[in-house]
Structure 1
Amino acid sequence: MPADTLWRLFRIASVGLALAATVAGLALGDAWLWVAVEWAPPAHASFFAQNGFDTLTTAALLAAALVKAALLWLILRPPARGALNRRTKLLRWLLYLAVAYALVLWIPIALFPDAGDSAFNLVLWAAIYALYLTVIRWRSRVLRAAAGAMFAIGLAAMANDLLDELDVLELPMSEALATGLTLCALTAIILTIVGQRRDGRWSRGTLVSGWLSLSVFLLVIPYNLLAGLLGHANPMPAIVMDAVGLIGTLWLAATARELSSIGGHPTDPPRAPRRAVRVTVAAIVILPIIGLIEPEQSPHLTFTGRFAGCYSRSSFGDLKPHEREAEFLCLARRTFAGVPPMFPDTLSDQQVLSYGRALCRAKDRDEQKAILTRAGSERAAQGAEAWDLVYICPEIIGATQPELLRSTAESQAAETDYIAEQNARCRDPWPRTKGVRQATANYFLFVDGDPGYLVHDPNDETTGGSDEELMDKVFKDPSGIGVDGSGALIGHVADVSNLCLTVKAFRTAPPARTAGWDQVNEVPILSRSGDLTVPYMGEGGEVGAGAPMPNLAIAGKGRYRLRVYVRVDEAGEEEHLIVVFPGASRKRVTLKG
């Protein structure tokens, strides 16, 4: 079977499959319709199809399916016949590989780490750009050099992305630099189209598809604005961009298809005067640079309160130096839990950073309020916190609060050391009376508002008393112990945020031994599941015991007696001893108080 026939059958089958999949997706449901039209895995549909598509979105998907089918029909036209030298043949295959990647190959490649995708694109386009410079007949060394410069800048940006994925040193990406790279990419497309026109091998249709792909490239700006207005979960902008984005793939396919026409068209365009060529190339190269120069008053808005990444905070020590200003801009413009941002979106990045550094130098909260008022802040009365300002003036904040300069790992290590140090200061008050199970640790309380700690059955879901009821009992009971079924809330006597706690479980009631204690009380407690313990603070917690506490219900399910020893030393430090043993009595007994 001739190659042209095979290609034609493949073309018909591909377009037919795309249309048939759309019809099937319409019958199977929204998620599968998205897969059929967008040519993406089902996982990509879950973000947009959580609550189902409305009629407008479904209609847009059907229209996009027809547009993509028509563009796919043009993309899959068979290559033109003609002699090919080695470099031209290699360029054709590489361009078809780029087309295949844009259509389907990105799906399996995306299964590899991000660095694999970046490396693949870097190698592919480095080869294509190199062959562009040698295969296209530019008819001007200046034009070829300008194109080579733009290609090199594009490859440098791709290499920077690869270094970023590999977590190796990469070039800091500011807004101005990102804009410059975008202009260079546009310039590279323009120069390539100009080179194709001067070469003479490519038809007018191919050149038109190239100019249209340039227009699609420019649609990214309104796309970002529209996505910001509609919300990133709205699928309409993505549907439109995905459909028209195939125009760029069509240009690559058309470029590869017509590479074999070595003889060119019957009449090659005349050579333009050298001076005109030089002026044109100079304008194309210099204009992107001029575009980077903006008026001093023009605001640079890197982040806004709607930026999703602004709702998470990175530790200062985890950020690279060039990332810290961006973190502050993020925090300064975010709206969280109904609280207005520190600075309005109307201020440029430079203005926000300037006001931020002034806040670092402010002597008190009143001076901070004056600065924020001048900046137009809606929350000037709140001032600014050190944990926000540390990102732009670490030398000032770190001098008084060095802990804010730590990385996450350093903070975790410091927290672990602090807990170990607090636990080490606590001693067993009954060292010679060993319980069947026992433990000693520091108990961390909420500062200003924590009434005490629980001894409870954590697996009992039938406890009738709520936390509020237990707190009421603590405040009303002279012993400071609130009991309700399988839960006992034990209050603290002194105004402390930490107390030393020892728990011991016995099979029988130990001697009272009240000497040296300020209060000793005994209350009943129940274990319905065979478990009684004190909450453990755990990793990342703020309240609880600094070490895991044992199960004090040594006899399993049933009733127990809970004896609480409390004392406060001359330094104001508070110490508790909890003794638990089986007992059916439901009386409350004051042994000392």
Structure 2
Amino acid sequence: MFGDDWLWMAVQWSPPYGERAGFDTSTTVMLLVTALVKAAFLWLILRAPLPGPLDRRARALRRLLYLAVAYALVLWYPIGLLPDAVDTASQLALWAAIDVLYLLVIRWRSRVLRAAAAALFAVELAGVADQLLDDLNLRQVHWGEVVGLGWMVGGAAATVLTVVGQWRDGRWSRGTLVAGWASLGVYALVITLNLLAGHLFSGGPAVSVIMDAAGLVTTVWLAATARELPTENSVPDLPPARLRAIRVAVATVTVLPIIAMIHPEQAARLTYTGWSTDCYDRPSFGDLKPAQRDAVFLCVARGMDGGGPPMFPESMSDQAILAYGRALCRAKDRDEQEAILTRAGSARPSWGVNPWDLVYVCPEIIGATHPELLRSAEETQAANDAYIAEENAKCRDPWPRTKGVVQATAKYFLFVDGDPGYLVHDPGDQAAEEEADKLYSGDGLVTVGRNSALVGHIEDVSDLCLTVKAFRTAPPRRTAGWQQVEEVPIVSRTGRLTVPEMGEDEVGAGAPMPNLAIKGKGRYRLRVYVRIDDGGEEQHLVVVFPGASRKKLTLKP
């Protein structure tokens, strides 16, 4: 046995590269079939040139075309050992000469066609020249991706016009024209394989072998063009039956290896990924294009938030996850969701799946019961702002005739479960921030430290109406109508005392809160009034005024 390296050299006509653990059976069969195809192409390339007189230009074109053929077969390897700039410069010179001779030798029979071919040849050579600038580390013209794509399309269009010119000339056989059209397909094949190699193919040498064999089609066309240049020879076309047989054989050999390397659907992985969206910052449904929604759901399904296991097994294909996601959308209750997740092999079937996760795969179902989940981030923010403004408008100043130096009335939003209350603190005092952590274990309506105070609530509520007022002197006590009134000392080290405003965690006052330390740094008294009104709403009045007393007073139990 000669081994894998010998097989590789026999098929690729070049020394092996890299480390390989050995070819499997399918790869070996593919290499053997490719060897037969390349042998047939080589036979077509090495056929002797047709005899006949050639003028000086046609003779030069034949020699340059055979030089291009020699480069494609063997010269590419030794030239590849030289700097990239040498390779690119030689290609630029070679193809500039070939393109000029194409314009002079081919009988285009149309000035417009010849001019169009000249323009496309120039575009093609411009792309090679730009690559040469890059290889020489010189300043490139930054054309952008659109122009780069234009160069590729221009190269394909130049091939089309060259084949059309050969057809109008009349000296080239149908087989040569077919090879020219087939070389155009090589452009599409190379681009397709480059784009899909990471998604559809299972690794190994398959892609490089297929692309190398397909590239010989262009070499066959160049060799046939050089072979049939004499004007006095008319090459007879092959019989139609033989032409059909050749076409079927070439199409079969080209397509079957590609089909054989495609993964089956059940093994598909990463067809959809989170690359187009940020898995760590989930976008709102309304901000996503339809093509991005599946990717976000896969981020959720494959994520391990909080250190828990993912929703589905890691080995499950993306298509299967999306299918299970849509099945979960149709589940009637949590128990049915658990059954579906169990069937899918989930490590956490009892967790179920929330509507805000499923909306990405079935918005028409989730949106019917949770229309708010279909909003964009801007729409959500506008809805939240409108809701907060509406809630703030429900709160009234309990002391409307007693104006403070500064004051504000707003809805204060608490955590739904077990929120102990809100702080009156100095936000610029680090010591007050550290002290605030200790206040949550206190008892009573107001738990006070030196620089901050925690105000509790008398009912189990998720929000309350809060009014804050600051005075230069102590206002009347006015305890009538209130259920609890307490007064405590508090200190401001930086000249600020305030109540937290609502932030990203959706806890805090729904409107800007003023600085209640109206005399700057120093000691103040904090008085808190609490009651439940006739509508069941809890109301708080926070009053702050300068005062040196350190006593804690319960003005109304």
TM range (shorter): 0.5 to 0.7
1:3-52 Cα distance to aligned partner (Å, 9 max, x none): xxxxxxxxxxxxxxxxxxxxxxxxxxxxxxxxxxxxxxxxxxxxxxxxxx
Partner of residue 501, structure 2:
536
User: Which residue does the alignment assign to 2:159?
Assistant: 132
- Give the C-alpha shift of residue 555 in structure 1: 0.6
**Separation in 2 of the partners of 1:89 and 1:364?**
66
Once the 2 structures are TM-superposed, how far is the Cα of residue 102 of structure 1 from its aligned partner?
6.2
Work out which of the residue numbers 178, 194, 218 in structure 1 matches 2:217: 194
1:118 — aligned with what? 145
- Is the CA contact 2:193–2:207 (under 8 Å) kept in the aligned structure 1? no
Structure 1 residue aligned with 2:471: 506
Deviation at 1:293, TM superposition (A): 6.9
- Report the 3-state secondary structure (helix = DSSP H, G, I; strand = E; otherwise coil) of the residue aligned with 1:345: coil
Rounded Cα–Cα distance in structure 2 between residues aligned with 1:123 and 1:392: 37
Give 1:505 deviation, angstroms.
Answer: 0.9
State the partner residue of 1:527.
Answer: 492
Displacement, 1:423?
A: 0.8
Q: Equivalents in 1 of 2:452, 2:556: separation in Å?
A: 22
The more displaced of 383-392 and 131-140 is 131-140
Query: Are 1:142 and 2:166 counterparts?
Result: no
Q: Which residue of 1 aligns with 2:398?
A: 429
Which runs of structure 2 are paired with 1:15-26 in the superposition (5 Å)?
A: none
* Separation in structure 1 between the aligned mates of residue 502 and residue 218 of structure 2, nearest angstrom: 68
Percent of aligned positions with the same letter in both sequences? 51
Deviation, structure 1 residue 495? 0.5
Deviations 1:298-328 (CA, angstroms, capped at 9, x unpaired): 3444357999944432222222333323322
- Separation of aligned partners in 2, 1:314 and 1:338: 21
**Which amino acid in the other structure matches residue 466 of structure 1?**
E
Contact 1:464 1:485 in 2 (8 A): no
Deviates more, 1:438-447 or 1:389-398: 389-398
Q: Of 546, 561, 578, which aligns to 2:525?
A: 561
Q: In structure 2, how many angstroms separate the alpha carbons of the residues matched to 1:543 and 1:440? A: 16
- In 2, Cα distance between the equivalents of 1:95 and 1:201? 26
- Give 1:324's match in structure 2, choosing from 268, 285, 293: 293
1:443-464 Cα offsets, whole Å, 9 max, x none, are 1111112211111111112338
Instruction: Report deviation, 1:99.
Output: 1.8
Match of 1:411 among 358, 361, 380: 380
Which residue identity does 2:392 align to in structure 1? N
> Please, which runs of 5 or more residues in structure 1 have no aligned partner?
1-66, 111-115, 159-172, 204-261, 265-269
Provide Cα deviations, 1:343-387, integer angstroms capped at 9, x if missing partner. Answer: 112222332233222222223222222221111111112111111
Secondary structure of 1:358's counterpart equals helix
Shift of 1:396: 2.5
Structure 1 residue 90, shift from structure 2 partner? 1.4
Q: Distance in 2 between matches of 1:69 and 1:141?
A: 35
- In structure 2, what is the Cα distance between the partners aligned to 1:465 and 1:98? 62
Match of 1:79 in 2: 93
How far apart in 2 are the matches of 1:392 and 1:485?
53
CA RMSD of aligned residues (A): 4.2
In structure 2, give the amino acid aligned to 1:427. Answer: R
- Secondary structure, aligned partner of 1:578: strand
**TM-score scaled by structure 1?**
0.64
Cα distance in structure 2, aligned partners of 1:448 and 1:275: 77
CA contact (8 A) 1:125 1:155 kept: no
CA distance in 1, matches of 2:138, 2:345: 47
The gaps in structure 2 that reach 5 residues or longer are: 1-79, 104-117, 167-171, 231-235
Match of 2:449 among 484, 490, 496: 484
Given that 2:407 and 2:469 are in contact with CA atoms closer than 8 Å, whether structure 1 keeps it comes out as: yes
Letter in structure 2 aligned against 1:485: R
Partner of 1:385: 354
In structure 1, C-alpha distance between the alignment counterparts of 2:81 and 2:525, rounded to whole Å: 76
Q: Which amino acid aligns with 1:198?
A: W
State the match for 1:10 in structure 2: none
Q: Partner residue of 2:422?
A: 453
From the CA coordinates, give the structure whose radius of gyration is larger.
Answer: 2
Instruction: Pick closer, same or farther for the CA change 1:88–1:196 going to 2, 3 Å.
Output: farther
* Equivalent AA in structure 2 for residue 79 of structure 1: A
